[in-house]
């Protein structure tokens, strides 16, 4: 369970809530341009765009949950159980394992349109990282300052959707979310209007009644609608401080407190961390469940021409 958003003020921002019942040793990871990225079915990327994001590092490989590269292209993987179906390795295609997809696309491409073209000859394949780290069922949101798309691999094949909302959550498939939002197009930030009947003794007894019906539960469909509503009605002065602050407030509107969402294994899912990256400057901000203070790491504060990962453990 997760929520990702793309947000524009004077700069472009990209980030997400990671909602899980446990962690995987994740931390902020910077992958410099010459850090080798081995691929299971393609030649290694030995020179590529630098990137920053949250990742678990295994065998010196960054398993990114989400990341932004130095050109401003961003990508996040979100849980997509029961729907995700990856392909078998096929000749004539660029076969990329699902765990490789974020560093592969961010390493090679600078814009969403470049990614869209590349996906025509790419197959996301069912190759695990290891026995201890099996394949995760995911779909992805990919964004730059100009455009956002959603990538899903299902039993019907790969599908690429334009994402005009700049929001992604989890199941059902994205075409459902595109339709479901229309059920809430009457919501607004002002007072409710009386359409029940002229002369009836009804009126606004509180601020915010124009948004009556906005879903407040933690299901992925409800979080999608709520994130769209809050993001579309977001107001800030556009400065870096105000934009980052507002971004985290948008994410907090769909965050999960521990104890409200029971997972299948009997544990509670909660928002382990929230992230926000200024994709123009490469500055990555994050908060954690137990430490809500915003911390920042600047991708350009390190040598981006080295071959060694920079890893910053997440302060719990």
Cα separation values, 207 from 187, 191, 192, 195, 222, Å = 13, 6, 9, 18, 22
| Structure-token pair, residue 178 | 């595109």
Straight-line distance from the first to the last Cα atom of the chain, in angstroms, rounded to the nearest whole number: 20
Instruction: State how beta strands 167-168 and 261-262 pair.
Output: unpaired
Instruction: State how beta strands 157-162 and 138-143 pair.
Output: unpaired
Please tell me the distance from the alpha carbon of residue 52 to that of residue 296, in angstroms, as a whole number: 12
Say if CB 258 and CB 289 are below 8 A apart: yes
DSSP per position, 56-100: EEETTEEEEEEEEETTS-EEEEEE-TTT--PBPP-TTSEEEEGGG
Bond preceding residue 172 cis, omega within 30 of 0: yes
Taking Cα atoms as reference points, which of 150, 22, 163, 25 lies closest to residue 80?
150
- In the residue annotation, 236 being an active-site residue is answered as no
Cα separation values, 194 from 6, 206, 208, 274, Å = 34, 14, 14, 39
| 178 contact partners, CB below 8 Å, separation of at least 6 | 161
Residue among 2, 35, 276, 277 flagged as catalytic: 2
Please tell me the distance from the alpha carbon of residue 8 to that of residue 75, in angstroms, as a whole number: 16
Residues labelled catalytic: 2
């Amino acid at each position: 369970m997760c929520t990702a958003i793309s947000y524009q003020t004077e700069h472009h921002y990209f980030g997400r809530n990671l909602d899980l019942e446990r962690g995987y040793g994740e931390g902020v990871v910077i992958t410099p341009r010459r850090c080798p990225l081995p691929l299971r079915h393609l030649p290694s990327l030995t020179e590529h765009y630098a990137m920053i994001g949250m990742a678990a590092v295994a065998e010196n490989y960054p398993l990114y949950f989400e990341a932004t590269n130095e050109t401003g292209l961003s990508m996040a993987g979100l849980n997509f159980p029961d729907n995700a179906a990856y392909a078998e390795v096929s000749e004539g295609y660029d076969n990329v394992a699902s765990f490789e997809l974020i560093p592969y696309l961010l390493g090679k491409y600078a814009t969403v349109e470049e990614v869209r073209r590349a996906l025509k000859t790419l197959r996301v394949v069912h190759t695990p990282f290891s026995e201890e780290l099996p394949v995760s069922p995911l779909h992805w949101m990919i964004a730059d300052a100009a455009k956002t798309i959603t990538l899903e691999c299902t039993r019907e094949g790969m599908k690429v959707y334009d994402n005009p909302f700049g929001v992604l959550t989890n199941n059902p498939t994205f075409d459902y979310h595109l339709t479901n939002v229309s059920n809430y197009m009457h919501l607004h930030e002002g007072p409710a209007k009386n359409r029940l009947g002229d002369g009836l003794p009804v009126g606004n007894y509180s601020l915010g009644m124009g948004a009556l019906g906005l879903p407040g539960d933690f299901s992925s469909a409800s979080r999608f609608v709520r994130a769209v509503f809050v993001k579309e009605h977001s107001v800030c002065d556009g400065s870096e401080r105000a934009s980052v602050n507002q971004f985290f407030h948008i994410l907090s509107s769909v965050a999960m407190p521990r104890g409200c969402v029971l997972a299948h294994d009997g544990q509670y899912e909660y928002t382990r961390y929230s992230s926000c990256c200024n994709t123009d400057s490469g500055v990555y901000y994050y908060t954690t469940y137990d430490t809500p203070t915003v911390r920042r790491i600047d991708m350009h504060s390190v040598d981006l021409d080295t071959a060694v990962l920079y890893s910053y453990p997440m302060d719990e």
